[in-house]
Amino acid sequence: SERLFVEMADVMAAEGWRDAGYEFVCIDDCWMAPTRDKHGRLQADPKRFPSGIRKLADYVHSRGLKLGIYSDVGDKTCAGFPGSYNHYDLDAQTFASWGVDLLKFDGCNSGTLELLADGYRRMSLALNKTGRSIVYSCEWPFYLRPVQQPNYTEIKQYCNHWRNFFDVYDSWSSIKSILDWTALHQDSIVKIAGPGGWNDPDMATLLGIFVFLSQLVIGNFGLSWDQAVTQMAMWAIMAAPLFMSNDLRHISPEAKWLLQNKEVIAINQDALGKQGYQITKDKNFQLWERPLSGRAYAVAVLNQQEIGGPRNFTFSLTFLGNGLACNPACSVRQVLPASRDWGVYSWVSSLSVEVNPTGTVLLKV
C-alpha cells in the first residue's frame, strides 16, 4: 500500500539510509489495478494506492529520494497484472508523467525470445524518448540463459543493469549459489560491467518493496552474522547494484551498521567501476579481488566451510593485481567484519587471514 512506501521513505530520510547513499524506494509487482483505464493507461490499485503514483512520487521526492516502479515486457506481469506488451511508449510516458525514476522491467509471459529481446529494446528507446532520467533495470539475460548465451554487449546498450540469476532468498544456500554461479561465469560477465551498465546477481522482494542498495537480504531472519557480512562484502566486490529487501522499520542495530557501512559502500560504488572476480580457490577458501581507483584493490577472503571454527588462509601478496597491487609495498586495511589497519607490507610478503565458517574478511590494499 502507499502507506508502506510513505513510512519507508520517512525511515530512509530520518535514519541515515539516504545519507549512506540508498536513494531509491522501489515498488514491485502487484501495484496496479487488474485492468488499464479507458485510455489504455496503467493505473494504480485504487484501494491500496488511493492517492495514485504521482502523489506518492511527489512525497518520495520531498524526502530527497527517488521512486522506482515495476512492469513487464510481456502481456502480463509475473503475478498476472497488465504487462507492457504493445504499450511500451504509452507506459514509458505514463511513468515519466508520474515522476518515476527507475523501472524494473520483468520478463514473464513474453512469448518468444525474439519478442522478449524486441520488448527490452523498445522500452529502452521509449524511456529515453520521454526525456526523463529513468534507470532501466532489465531481466533480459536471466530469461535468455536457459536457451541461449546472452549478448551482454547489446544488453548494455539498452539497460543500466541486468539480472543474471534466480531470486535471492533469505538463506545461506541462496547466497552461496549466487557466488558460485558468478565465479563460474566471470569470464563472460565481468568485462562488460562498468559505469552505465552493471551485472545484477539476483532479484527478489519482501513486502512488495525493494529499496535501492542487488538484493541484500541482510536484516531479515535467515542469515547468521558471518553470512550477512559475506553478502555485504561480496556484493561490494561484485560491483552489484545495492538493493535491500527488508523492512527498515524493524531492523537490528547490527544489520543497520553493516548496511550503512561507509567503507564497504565506497568499495561498491568505486568510481573506476570495475567488477571484481575470483582469483584462486583452495579447498573451502576463495580469494577475490576488485581493482579500485587510486591503484587500490579490494580483496575478499571467503570461507565456505559450514562447520567447525575459524580457520586461517595464507596467501602471497604477489597474487594480487597480477603482481602489481603491492609492488613494491602497500598498506592493508581490514574493512569487514570490523575495521582496523594492518600496516604496511612488502611485495613479497604473505598475509594470514582468520575467517569464520561461512564468513568473509574484506580488505583494502
Instruction: Fill in the amino acid letter for 300.
Output: A
106 is catalytic: yes
Catalytic residue among 106, 200, 202, 270: 106
* Given the residues 37, 167, 282, 341, the one annotated as active site: 167
- Determine whether 361 is exposed, middle or buried from the number of CB atoms within 10 Å of its CB (0-12, 13-18, 19+): buried
Sign of CA dihedral 125, 129, 130, 133: positive
Which secondary structure element, helix H or strand E, spans residue 214, and what is its range? Answer: none
Which three cell numbers, joined as nine digits, stand for 365? 590494499
CB atoms within 10 A of CB 119: 23
Per-residue b or e along 284-295, where b marks 16 or more CB atoms closer than 10 Å to that residue's CB: bbbbbbbbbeee
CA 351/CA 217 separation, integer angstroms:
31
What is the distance between the alpha carbons of residues 23 and 190, in angstroms, rounded to a whole number? 25
Distance CA 332, CA 288 (A): 15
Burial 141-154 (b: 16+ CB within 10 A, else e): bbbbeeeeebebee
Query: To which H or E segment does residue 101 belong?
Result: none
201 backbone dihedrals φ, ψ, rounded to 5°: -65, -25
> Which of 303, 251, 294, 301 shows the shortest CA–CA distance to 276?
301
Residues 6+ apart with CB under 8 A from 289: 237, 276, 277, 279, 297, 298, 299, 300, 320, 321, 325
Q: Considering Cα of 218, then 223, then 227, then 231, what sign does the dihedral take? A: negative
Catalytic residue annotation: 106, 167
